């Protein structure tokens, strides 16, 4: 057809509305084109700060998500057996009255009998607050089975984290290391950033057992064995320390490298930071500042004049002073042993770190085989990091003033950036692995400097943040704090007088003390087992726990349906579930509350939750309904507010008992104040909409967001763009917007004193101590410096690198019986399970294979497209293999959540997802392997409780008919029958 005859300018629709995408977690700005009241087209909003007009395959396929045949259309009440999927449709009044009855009875009796767990909903600022008003401690969101290790390790180490709390300096980085990065998360922003790096010729190194997605465009792929990233990072630290290629000035200015750690084995203060009477950390500093020092001698903390302290002679014969570590004008020591004024001995934390990582256990030759990375490669990577950080340092002509008042004419940058995701996080050693990466960044001086990793406001926060999890109920029944938070010491744990867990998921107990996001993956098992207690109602939102979000999926489904032998009642008496789609989990609910699609509701991407800021700009956003629902569905947030009013929750009713937000979430977004002047949205506050951060509620606030493409931004001042943790202008700016409570500098935690407090408790010190069963486990894992261990055993022991002790519980034949690692990934074009029912996205992939390196295949006699058996201690599944050069030998992998359960998602019975697609979760134990103890530990990180999805070990068995199609599952007898 001649071009002239094409009607190129025909409008796509008769109306265009802006909102925020929800096809993944990036929250790009989109324009939705409507025609005749239907969505016709979705494209990127060119004026939106996240994506600047870019749209990805997922985002543009939102139209098929919106019109999915799998959408729920009316509240459902179960009429058949649980799991059978037999429901009758009911009216909303009946549904809400029933839910309010169940919830109201619980609240009157014992609020903790409600377990309220949500998936990747991005509404935690509301759902967590609602749980607090209800008074249950049993609330969490999806982070525990996603990447809490990354979040917790970051927050306890430097008050930030990879991904949603920070980003590489895309404009200035010259060397980017991607560690275990999932491609469905951080989609458009990272693609835009990687494009900048490629255009500039910056080097990208992908460290991952599998080379797909972003790894495919990396300049170097380092195939690593799953779960050994921390060991590789430790070896890089070893090499940097050995070569004396570290940034000592950065360390003493911004970290606690020079803080003195008390060395008094067996004493109650052993391993704690030495402090003065006011609680200020102390350090040793050379008395004579005219001796600049060399190597690991004194670094300089600045040029100001005043330092105060007591003058003593050190064990090295040198005269030094014990002074406040935050004093300026001192030359702090980072090695040596010093005597405190009261006679106690202490060493700088850096010395302890150096002792840890200079040990031969972290030498490249010692870790190479276990990591699957050659000695030469490890040494070269360390060299490249140092050369880029130090020999290619950047200096920006940007004056700034630090938090101590020292003026600097320029900003020094270390153009080495790191980015990491679930690949390093979803192991039982993930917390310490993430901490090791952050220590590596600190040693390079590469946190929030030009060219390095950068915080995104409202981060940094103090490390750790001061908000502790709520523990007790007030007179009105509400918890005294949000149900999630950061514990600082054993006194903050949620345990009873005997040290037993108070939460159903055992978060914040001695089993998982730093469980900042809860353990959603343990909730169903614990509720079923009554461990630590039975509950009445499990209330879930958008979490596909009946399928791909659970470990040991088949048995989890059985638990949901299991009845008490004596009473004949379900062991979990009530299950309420809210979802927009007919996911696998719907069949297990007693009451289904149908949610809208993301195009039909208001949402709030809040500063109180996970905003959309980048490093130069604080930003939050909303979703607005661009189309009215054509079904009897309601936004979950509206339903939650309605239910709260019906049961009279504080904050949701007026004094006369009437509903406070009768117009639902949109009204709550505008009128609710978390603290005076602080609400869900930071933009256009105050009566006239001129205030940012703080300000009275503004009735026109949502309208102002809509006028601005549903997004609000506040630019970080030029002088505040870097060194945010100690930049006077940034700290003042962040405080003015309510991001920080003070302008005190944030000290990066090379040495984590919080962990030592737990270790001391395990050693018998302090009023709160772990039960005997937990002592060894807590003492081992709560090391204030990063450690690496291969596995966690059923008795809680650890085989750690630095002490070489054997795991007394390890089944030594296990690694021989299950010699291969099996992991999953999500594809770039799908997000969690939502994408694989989308008519457009299914055309890219509608089934999954098991991918393995040709070497691995040859060793097991497997040919391309053979059907084989994949075996774990839980059973075996029959899957089709594909050979894949870009997979590390010894690793097997597949796309997660492509395989579906028949009858879910409205897919045809013979859909590839149902017939050939498979789920690896059937083989992943939700408890530690080989355990027969009904109170066994979860298959999780012992520090945070993060689900250890990627610790799965398997073996391959050949099938006698490898060319005969057919996926099958053969599992061992269920434990739920016992
Ligand atoms: S990257 Fe995510 S949020 Fe952005 S358009 Fe794609 S799916 Fe939507």
Distance 730 CA to ligand 1 centre (A): 30
Residue 320's DSSP bridge partners are 286, 312
pTM higher than 0.85, yes or no?
yes
Our CA dihedral for 479, 483, 489, 495, rounded to 10 degrees, sits at 70
Nearest to 856 by CA among 207, 225, 206: 225
Are 725 and 746 in contact by the 8 Å Cβ rule? The answer is yes
Task: Give CA–CA dist 726/302, Å, rounded.
Answer: 13
> Could you tell me where the beta strands, DSSP code E, fall in 169-223?
175-179, 203-207, 220-222
pLDDT tens for 354-381 read 999 999 999 999 999 999 999 999 999 9
Q: CA 240, 321, 406 angle in degrees (round to 5)?
A: 70
Percent of the chain with pLDDT over 90: 85
* H helix intervals, 72-122: 92-109
DSSP β-ladder status, 29-35 and 345-348: unpaired
DSSP for 93-105, written as a single string: HHHHHHHHHHHHH
Task: Give CA–CA dist 44/418, Å, rounded.
Answer: 28
CA distances (Å), 471 to each of 468, 484, 487, 768, 935, in order?
Answer: 9, 10, 11, 15, 23
Are 186 and 163 in contact by the 8 Å Cβ rule? The answer is yes
| Pocket of ligand 1 contains residue 425 by CB under 6 Å | no
Mutate which of 41, 46, 53, 56 to test ligand 1's pocket (most atoms within 8 Å of Cβ)? 56
Question: What local confidence, expressed as pLDDT, does residue 964 receive?
Answer: 96
Task: Give CA–CA dist 732/738, Å, rounded.
Answer: 10
Question: What local confidence, expressed as pLDDT, does residue 826 receive?
Answer: 85
Question: Which ligand 1 atom is nearest residue 55's CA?
Answer: 5
Place of tokens 């910056």: 202
Distance 50 CA to ligand 1 centre (A): 10
| Pocket of ligand 1 contains residue 61 by CB under 6 Å | no
Phi/psi at 285 (5° precision) = -135, 145
Distance 62 CA to ligand 1 centre (A): 9
| Pocket of ligand 1 contains residue 285 by CB under 6 Å | no
Containing 223, the helix (H) or strand (E) segment is none
Cis peptide before 464 (omega within 30 of 0): yes
> Could you tell me where the beta strands, DSSP code E, fall in 314-364?
319-324, 338-339, 345-348
Q: How far is CA 224 from its chain centroid?
A: 22
Distance 579 CA to ligand 1 centre (A): 20
Question: What local confidence, expressed as pLDDT, does residue 290 receive?
Answer: 37
CA distances (Å), 196 to each of 165, 169, 203, 504, in order?
Answer: 20, 10, 11, 46
Token pair of 250, please? Answer: 């950065």
| Pocket of ligand 1 contains residue 32 by CB under 6 Å | no
Distance 57 CA to ligand 1 centre (A): 8
pLDDT tens for 866-916 read 999 999 999 999 999 999 999 999 999 999 999 999 999 999 999 999 999
Distance 957 CA to ligand 1 centre (A): 40
Task: Give CA–CA dist 464/754, Å, rounded.
Answer: 9
Phi/psi at 682 (5° precision) = -90, -20
Positions in the chain whose pLDDT score sits under 70: 1-4, 121-122, 184, 288-318, 793-813, 929-935, 974-978
| Pocket of ligand 1 contains residue 55 by CB under 6 Å | yes
Q: Which domains does the chain have, with CATH numbers?
A: 3-66 (2.20.25.90), 150-243+364-455 (3.40.228.10), 248-357 (no CATH), 814-977 (2.40.40.20)
Closest residue to atom 5 of ligand 1, CA basis: 59
Task: Give CA–CA dist 352/763, Å, rounded.
Answer: 19
DSSP for 265-310, written as a single string: TTSTTTTSBPB-TT--BEEEEES-TT----TTS-----S-S---EE
| Pocket of ligand 1 contains residue 612 by CB under 6 Å | no
Task: Give CA–CA dist 385/233, Å, rounded.
Answer: 12
As a whole number of Å, the CA-based R_g of the chain is 28
Are 829 and 863 in contact by the 8 Å Cβ rule? The answer is no
| Pocket of ligand 1 contains residue 24 by CB under 6 Å | yes
Nearest to 556 by CA among 565, 543, 545: 545
Distance 975 CA to ligand 1 centre (A): 41
Task: Give CA–CA dist 504/527, Å, rounded.
Answer: 7
Place of tokens 């320029």: 410
Task: Give CA–CA dist 111/316, Å, rounded.
Answer: 60
Question: What local confidence, expressed as pLDDT, does residue 288 receive?
Answer: 60
| Pocket of ligand 1 contains residue 21 by CB under 6 Å | yes
Question: What local confidence, expressed as pLDDT, does residue 800 receive?
Answer: 47
Task: Give CA–CA dist 237/417, Å, rounded.
Answer: 15
Closest residue to atom 8 of ligand 1, CA basis: 59
| Pocket of ligand 1 contains residue 51 by CB under 6 Å | yes
């Amino acid at each position: 057809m001649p071009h002239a005859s094409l009607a190129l300018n025909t409008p796509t629709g008769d109306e265009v509305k802006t909102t925020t995408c929800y096809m993944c977690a990036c929250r790009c700005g989109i324009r939705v084109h409507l025609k005749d009241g239907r969505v016709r087209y979705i494209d990127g909003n060119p004026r939106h700060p996240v994506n600047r007009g870019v749209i990805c395959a997922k985002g543009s396929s939102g139209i098929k998500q919106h019109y999915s045949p799998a959408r729920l259309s009316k509240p459902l009440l179960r009429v058949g057996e649980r799991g059978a999927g037999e429901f009758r449709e009911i009216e909303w009044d009946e549904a809400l009255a029933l839910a309010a009855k169940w919830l109201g009875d619980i609240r009157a009796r014992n609020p903790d009998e409600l377990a309220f767990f949500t998936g990747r909903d991005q509404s935690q600022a509301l759902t967590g607050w609602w749980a607090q008003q209800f008074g249950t401690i049993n609330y969490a969101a999806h982070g525990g089975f996603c990447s809490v290790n990354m979040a917790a390790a970051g927050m306890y180490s430097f008050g930030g984290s990879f991904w949603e709390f920070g980003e590489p300096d895309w404009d200035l980085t010259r060397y980017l290391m991607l560690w275990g990065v999932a491609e469905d998360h951080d989609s458009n922003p990272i693609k835009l950033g990687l494009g900048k790096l490629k255009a500039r010729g910056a080097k990208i190194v992908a460290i991952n057992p599998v080379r797909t997605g972003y790894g495919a465009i990396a300049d170097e792929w380092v195939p690593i064995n799953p779960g050994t990233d921390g060991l590789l990072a430790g070896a890089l630290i070893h090499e940097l320390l050995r070569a004396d290629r570290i940034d000592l000035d950065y360390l003493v200015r911004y970290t606690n490298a020079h803080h003195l750690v008390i060395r008094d084995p067996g004493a109650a203060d052993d391993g704690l930071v030495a402090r003065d009477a006011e609680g200020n950390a102390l350090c040793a500093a050379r008395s004579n500042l005219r001796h600049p020092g060399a190597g690991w001698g004194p670094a300089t903390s600045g040029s100001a004049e005043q330092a105060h302290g007591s003058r003593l002679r050190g064990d090295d014969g040198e005269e030094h002073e014990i002074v406040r570590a935050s004093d300026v004008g001192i030359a702090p020591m980072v090695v040596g042993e010093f005597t405190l004024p009261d006679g106690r001995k202490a060493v700088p934390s850096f010395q302890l770190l150096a002792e840890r990582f200079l040990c031969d256990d972290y030498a490249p030759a010692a870790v190479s085989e276990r990591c699957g990375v050659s000695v030469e490669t490890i040494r070269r990577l360390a060299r490249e990091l140092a050369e880029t950080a130090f020999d290619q340092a950047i200096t920006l002509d940007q004056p700034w003033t630090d938090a101590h008042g020292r003026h600097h004419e320029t900003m020094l940058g270390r153009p080495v950036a790191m980015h990491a995701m679930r690949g390093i996080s979803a192991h039982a050693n993930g917390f310490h692995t993430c901490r090791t990466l952050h220590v590596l960044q600190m040693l390079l001086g590469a946190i929030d400097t030009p060219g390095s990793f950068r915080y995104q406001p409202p981060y940094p926060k103090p490390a750790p943040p001061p908000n502790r999890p709520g523990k007790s109920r007030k007179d009105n029944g509400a918890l005294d704090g949000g149900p999630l938070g950061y514990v600082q010491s054993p006194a903050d744990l949620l345990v009873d007088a005997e040290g037993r867990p108070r939460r159903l998921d055992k978060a914040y107990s001695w089993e998982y003390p730093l469980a900042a996001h809860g353990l959603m993956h343990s909730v169903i098992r614990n509720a079923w087992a009554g461990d630590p207690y039975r509950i009445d109602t499990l209330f879930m939102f958008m979490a596909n726990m009946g399928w791909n979000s659970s470990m040991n999926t088949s048995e989890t489904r059985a638990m949901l349906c299991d009845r008490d032998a004596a009473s004949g009642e379900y062991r979990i008496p009530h299950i309420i579930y809210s979802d927009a789609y007919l996911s696998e989990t719907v069949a297990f609910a007693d009451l289904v509350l149908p949610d809208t699609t993301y195009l039909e509701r208001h949402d709030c991407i809040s500063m109180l939750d996970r905003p959309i800021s980048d490093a130069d700009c604080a930003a939050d956003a909303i979703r607005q309904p661009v189309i009215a629902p054509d079904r009897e569905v309601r936004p979950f947030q509206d339903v939650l507010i309605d239910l709260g009013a019906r049961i009279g929750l504080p904050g949701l009713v007026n004094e006369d008992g009437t509903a406070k937000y009768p117009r639902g979430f949109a009204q709550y977004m505008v009128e609710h104040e978390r603290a005076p002047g602080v609400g869900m949205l930071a933009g256009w506050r105050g009566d006239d909409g001129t205030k940012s951060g703080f300000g009275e509620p503004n009735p026109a606030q949502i309208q102002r967001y809509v006028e601005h493409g549903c997004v609000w931004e506040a630019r970080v001042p030029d002088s505040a763009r870097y060194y945010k943790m100690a930049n006077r202008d940034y700290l003042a700016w962040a405080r003015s917007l309510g991001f920080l409570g003070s302008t005190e500098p944030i000290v990066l935690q090379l040495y984590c004193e919080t962990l030592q407090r737990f270790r001391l408790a395990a050693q018998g010190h302090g009023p709160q101590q772990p039960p005997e069963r937990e002592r060894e486990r807590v003492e081992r894992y709560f090391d204030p410096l990063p450690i690496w261990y291969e596995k966690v055993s059923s008795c809680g022991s650890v085989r750690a690198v630095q002490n070489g002790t054997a795991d007394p519980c390890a089944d030594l034949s296990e690694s021989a019986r299950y010699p291969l690692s099996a992991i999953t990934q999500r594809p770039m074009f799908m997000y969690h399970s939502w994408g694989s029912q989308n008519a457009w996205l299914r055309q890219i992939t509608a089934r999954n294979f098991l991918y393995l390196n040709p070497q691995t295949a040859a060793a097991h006699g497997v040919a391309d497209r053979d059907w084989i058996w994949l075996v774990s201690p839980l059973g075996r599944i029959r899957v089709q293999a594909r050979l894949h050069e870009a997979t590390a030998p010894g690793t097997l992998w597949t796309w997660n959540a492509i395989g579906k359960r028949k009858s879910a998602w409205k897919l045809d019975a013979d859909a590839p997802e149902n017939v050939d697609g498979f789920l690896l979760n059937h083989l992943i134990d939700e408890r530690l392997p080989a355990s027969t103890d009904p109170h066994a530990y979860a298959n999780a990180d012992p520090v945070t409780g993060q689900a250890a999805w990627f610790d799965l070990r398997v073996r391959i068995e050949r099938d006698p008919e490898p060319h005969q199609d057919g996926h099958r599952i053969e599992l061992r007898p269920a434990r739920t029958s016992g």
